[in-house]
Amino acid sequence: MAKVLMKGNEAIGEAAIRAGCIHFFGYPITPQSEVPEYLAKRLPEVGGVFVQAESEVAASNMIYGAAGVGMRVLTTSSSPGISLMAEGVSYLAGAELPVVIVNIMRGGPGLGGILPSQGDYLQATKGMAHGDFDLIVLAPSSVQEAVDLTIRAFQLAEKYRNPVMVVGDGMIGQMMEPVDFPEVEVGPPLAADDWALTGCEGRSPRDVNSLFLDANDLHNHNVKLKDKFAVITENEQEWELYSCEGEYDVLVTSFGMMARICKTAIDVLAEEGIKVGLFRPITIKPYPYDACREAAQKAKRLLCVEMNMGQMIQDVQLATRGAKEIDFFGKAGGVIPSVEDVIQSVRETLAKTGK
Amino acid sequence: MKKIFAYTDGLTRLPTHYCPGCTHGVIHRVVGEVIDELGIRGTTVGVAPVGCAVLAYKYFNCDMFEASHGRAPAVATGAKRCRPEMSVFTYQGDGDLASIGMAEIVHAANRGEKFTVIFVNNAIYGMTGGQMAPTTMPNQRSTTTPFGRDVNLAGYPIRVAEMLSTLTTPAYVSRVSSHTAEQTVRAKEVIKKAFQYQIAGTCFTFVEVLSTCPTNWGLSPRESNKWLEKEMLPYYPLGDIKRPEDFEGGQHAGN
Amino acid sequence: MTQSNAAIYELSTPLTMVVGSYGSGKTEISVNLAVATRMRGCRVSVADLDIVNPYFRCREAQVLMREHGVRVVIPPGAQQFADLPIVVPEIKGMLEPQEGVFSIFDVGGDEVGARLLSSFSEPLKGRPYRLLQVINSRRPFTSTLEGCIRMKEGLEESSRLKVGGFIVNSHLITDTTIEVVLEGFELAQKLSEETGVPIEFVTAMGELAQAPELAALPAPILPLRRVMLPPWLKDEPKDDSSDEKSNRMPAGRVKPLFVP
Ligand SMILES: Cc1ncc(C[n+]2csc(CCOP(=O)(O)OP(=O)(O)O)c2C)c(N)n1
Ligand code: SF4
C-alpha cells in the first residue's frame, strides 16, 4: 500500500482495524478524540461496532463484555479518562481478558491541560488500579511506531490473555506523519475458543470472572498472573539503543516522543565531537532493566529526560542498582523540552563527570 | 403421581447461598425456567452483579460474566453489540443498578440496547449488611438510616422503572413481584415476554422484580412478604409501564 | 531564489477561507499565503478559526507572522491553549471588505471544523469571498474522487457556503515527491470536471517548487516553506526575548520563514 499521511490518533484507529479489531467503545477527550471520530466513520465500512460510551467507566466495562465474548476490542482515552478506567482495567486483568487500551497522555494532575505530557508513566506501569496485576505497556515515539505497536499490542494481548496499554503523549496523537500499514495476517482472536462466552451449546457453561472467595484460590490466581508476567518479561522486552556504539560519558534515558528530541540533541552534540548514548525502552513494562544496565555500564553518569517531573527515572534507578549517578531533566504540563534544553542538560551532566 | 417440582435446566444443581425465605432464589428459578422453556440456554450469556447475587454465575446454567459493581449494563452492551445473535441478560440488585450503576442503566436503556435486565428491588443493600438503598422506603430503618430514611436528607425512593420509561427510545418496562405464588407466576410471564422481545430484536427490556430481604429487614419470611405488600406495593405499583407497541413514529402514545 | 517559470499564485479576493479535511495542510497554506501576500506589500490579517484541533494551529506561528507584519487574530492570552471553541469578536469585522486588505481564515478540519463558518453565511451574502478546499490525495478520506466530493458536500452543508476553488496540496510532509503532487493534481482535475469548480492553485514545498513538471501545469503555484515543525527538528535557536506567553509553542516549533 502507498504511504498515507495520518494523524497519530487516526493511524492508531486504522492500525486496530488492520490488526483485525473492529469493535470500539470509548468516550471523547482531547487530545485523543480523533480516534473515536475516525472509527465512527471507518467501522461501519468494515461491518464493525462503534459505541460512544456514557463514560470511561462504562467504556472499560463494555470492553470487558466484548472481550469476554471473544472479540478483539479497543478503547482509547487520555489521562483523566484513563483514571476512570482503572476499575475496568483491574477486572480485565483479573479475568485475563485480551484488550488494548490507548492513553494519549495530557498534562495533569486533575483537569490539567490538553497539551502533551508523559505524566502517566507510573500509573501505566506501576499503579493503574487495585490488586496485583501487570499490564504490558508499549510506548511509541512516532506515528509509524504507534501503528506498529498498536498491531503488536493486539498480538501480545491475545498471546498472553492480558490487557495491553499503548501510551503516547498528546503529540503522538496529534501530529501528522506519513505511515505505511504493514500487511497483517488476521485470524479469529487467538484461543478465545477455550474460554470465551459464546454460548454453552454442546459444552458446559463457562464464566468470565475475577471473584475468588477462597483465599487460597485467589492467592493461586495471583501467583498464576505473576508467573505469566515473568514469561512476558522473559520474552517481550523491546528497546532501542541510539549512538551507543563505542565510548560515551553520558547515557540519556528517555521514552516515547521525548526520546526523539533527545536524538536530535545527541546528533548536534556529536557534531561537536561529544559522544552521548541514548537508551529508549519501547516496552516500558516489562522494563528492559538488563539492557538499560548494560547500556549504562559504559557511561560515567546518566541523564533521564521526560515530559513529567521524574517518573521513569525510578526504573532507571532500579536498572542501575545505585551504581551510577542519575540526573533528571523534565518539563511538565504541556511544555515540551526543546533540543536546546536537552543539549544544555547534557552539558551540565557532562560537567559533573569532570569532563 | 403428579410431578410438583422438577429441576429446570436453566439453573445448575448447586444449592444457592441465599438466606431462608429470600426471594432471590425464586427469581433465579423463574429466569432459569424462561431460559429453558425458550430453548436459548446454549445461546445465552448472563451478567451477574455485585450484591447478594454476586454468585449468580454459578447458578445460571449458561455462560456467565461476573461484572463490577453497577456495570452489568455496560458489560452486556459490549457482549450484545459484538454478538447480537445471542441472548444477553443482566441480573442486578437495587444498589448495583440504581445507585452506583445508575448511569450505565440509563444509557443502556436510552441507546435501546437489546438485552434483558432483571432488576431485583429489595429496598436495601443485602450483601454488605443492610445499608440504605436508593429504593429504601421513607422512614425504613437500615444500618445507615438508623432512625429511618429521612426523605429531607436522603430523598425519596427512586422508581427506576417509571424513570426509565420516560425515555423516548422504545422499550419494554414492567414491574412484577415475587412475594406470592400468583405474583411469581405473573413475574415469569413478564420475564418471558421480555426475553421474547429481545429475541425478536424489538427493544431494550427491563423487568423490575420486587423482592424481600428477611435478613436485613429483620423480619421472618412470612412477615417480609406482608411488609412488601403493605409498604412497597403502594409505592411501586405492578404492571407494564411501557410497551414497544405504544411507540408510534418517534413519539410515545402515552407520554 | 530561482524559480521555474510557473505562475505564482496571488490573492485577489478580500476574504479567503481555507477549509478541508484534517491534516490537509490548511495551516501551512494560510501562513505561507499570508506572508507571501504581505511581502507583495499588501495588508494581511489571518484569523485562526481552528476550534476543533488542539495542537498544530496557525496560532503557533503567530510570532513569525507578526514579525512579517501580518495581523494575527486569535483568542487572547492563555485562552488560546484552551480546549474551548473560542471565536473572537474581531472576526466579524474581517467579513467586511476593506480596500487593500486581505483576510485569510484558517478553518478547522472536516465539516466539523467548517461548521463555524455557517454563522457567517448570512453576513457574507453578496460580499466577495472565496472558500477554498484543500485536497491532499494522501489523506485517508480524500484519496478518491468520491471521497473529495463527499468532503466538499459536507463542507458546504456545514458551512452553508459554496466551495469556489480547490487547492492541490498533495503531500507526505518530508516524504513528498513530485509524483505525489502530480497525482493530487490529477485527482483535483477530475474533481474540477465533475463539480465545475476550478483549481485555484497548486502548492509545492521547498525544492519541489522548481520542478519543471509544475511549470507545465495549467494552474498557478504557491511555493511553501515548512512552518510547523515538530520539536525534534532542530533549526536556529528560537527567540525567547519577546512576550513570553505568546512565544510559548508547546506542541510544535516554528521555523523562520524564508520568503520567496
Ligand atoms: C465499587 C464498589 N463499591 C462498593 C462495593 C460494596 N458493595 C457490594 S454489594 C453492595 C450493595 C448491594 O446491594 P444491592 O445491589 O441492593 O443487592 P442485594 O445485595 O440487596 O441483592 C455494595 C455497596 C463494591 N463491591 N464495589
Ligand atoms: S441478605 Fe437479604 S437479599 Fe441477601 S440473600 Fe439474605 S435475604 Fe436475600
Domain boundaries, chain C: 15-227
Torsion, Cα A73 A76 A82 A87, to 10 degrees, reads -20
Q: Is residue B236 part of a domain?
A: yes
φ, ψ of residue A205 to 5 degrees: the values are: -60, 150
C-alpha dihedral sign at A303, A308, A310, A316: negative
pLDDT of residue C244: 37
Q: A213 near A43, Cβ under 8 Å?
A: no
Amino acid (one-letter) located at C149: I
Rg of chain C, C-alpha, whole Å = 17
Instruction: Determine if ligand 2 sits within 6 Å of the CB of residue B122.
Output: yes
Q: What distance lies between CA A141 and its chain's CA centroid? A: 10
Please give chain B's pLDDT, 255 residues, in tens. Answer: 666 678 899 999 999 999 999 999 999 999 999 999 999 999 999 999 999 999 999 999 999 999 999 999 999 999 999 999 999 999 999 999 999 999 999 999 999 999 999 999 999 999 999 999 999 999 999 999 999 999 999 999 999 999 999 999 999 999 999 999 999 999 999 999 999 999 999 999 999 999 999 999 999 999 999 999 999 999 999 999 999 998 765 555 444
* All structural domains of chain A: 4-235 (3.40.50.970), 240-351 (3.40.50.920)
Low-confidence ranges of chain A (pLDDT < 50): none
Closest residue, chain C, to A307 (C-alpha):
C250
> Among all chains, which residue has been given the C-alpha cell 424513570?
B163
Residue from the list C136, C174, C230 with its beta carbon closest to the beta carbon of A175: C230
Report CB contact under 8 Å: A3, C23.
no
What pLDDT does A288 receive?
A: 98
Q: H or E stretch including B239?
A: strand B239-242
Q: How far is the CA of B127 from the centre of ligand 1 (A)?
A: 6
Tell whether the model's pLDDT for residue C248 goes beyond 70.
no
CB A218 within 8 A of CB A205: no
A67 CB near a chain B CB, below 8 Å? yes
Residue B203 lies in a domain: yes
Residues of chain C with Cβ-Cβ distance to A334 below 8 Å are 81, 250-251
Strands (E), chain C: 15-20, 43-49, 71-73, 101-107, 130-135, 165-168, 199-205, 221-224, 228-229, 253-254
Q: Which amino acid is at A258?
A: M
- Cell numbers that stand for C111 in this block: 465539516
Mode of pairing for the β-strands spanning B87-93 and A276-281: unpaired
Amino acid letter, residue A110: G
Closest C-alpha to B77, from B38, B51, B45: B45
Distance (Å) of CA A96 to CA A70, A157, A160, A196, C251: 12, 9, 8, 11, 37
- Average of per-residue pLDDT across C201-216: 91
The answer to whether the Cβ–Cβ distance between A174 and C232 falls below 8 Å is: no
Chain B residues with CB within 8 Å of chain A CB: 12, 41-45, 47, 54-55, 57-58, 60-68, 71, 74-83, 86, 103-104, 106-107, 111
User: Does the N-terminal peptide bond of residue B15 adopt cis geometry, omega within 30 degrees of 0?
Assistant: no
* Helix residue spans in chain C (DSSP H): 26-39, 62-67, 90-94, 110-114, 145-159, 178-195, 212-215, 244-247
- Please report all neighbours of B, defined by 3+ CB atom pairs within 8 A: A
**Residue A121 or residue C110, greater confidence:** A121
Say if B255 falls within a structural domain: no
Domain holding B84: CATH number? 3.40.50.970
Task: Provide the grid cell at A188.
Answer: 479469529
- A200 vs B45, B46, C121, CA distance in Å? 9, 12, 60
Count of domains for chain B: 1
Query: A59 vs chain B: nearest CA distance in angstroms?
Result: 7
Q: Please state, in angstroms and rounded to a whole number, the distance separating the CA atoms of residues B237 and C3.
A: 84
Q: Whose CA is nearest to atom 7 of ligand 2?
A: B213
Distance from CA of B46 to the nearest CA of A (A): 9
Q: Measured between alpha carbons, how far is residue A228 from residues A138, A235, A281, A312 in Å? A: 17, 11, 21, 23
Please give the pLDDT value at position B1: 60
Task: Please tell me the distance from the alpha carbon of residue C120 to that of residue B223, in angstroms, as a whole number.
Answer: 70
Nearest ligand (C-alpha, residue B53) = 1
Half-sphere exposure of residue B240: CA atoms within 13 angstroms, side-chain side: 14
The shortest C-alpha distance from A146 to chain C (Å) reads 16
Q: Which ligand is nearest to the CA of B211?
A: 2
B137 lines ligand 2 (CB under 6 A): no
Whether domain C15-227 has CATH 3.40.50.300: the reply is yes
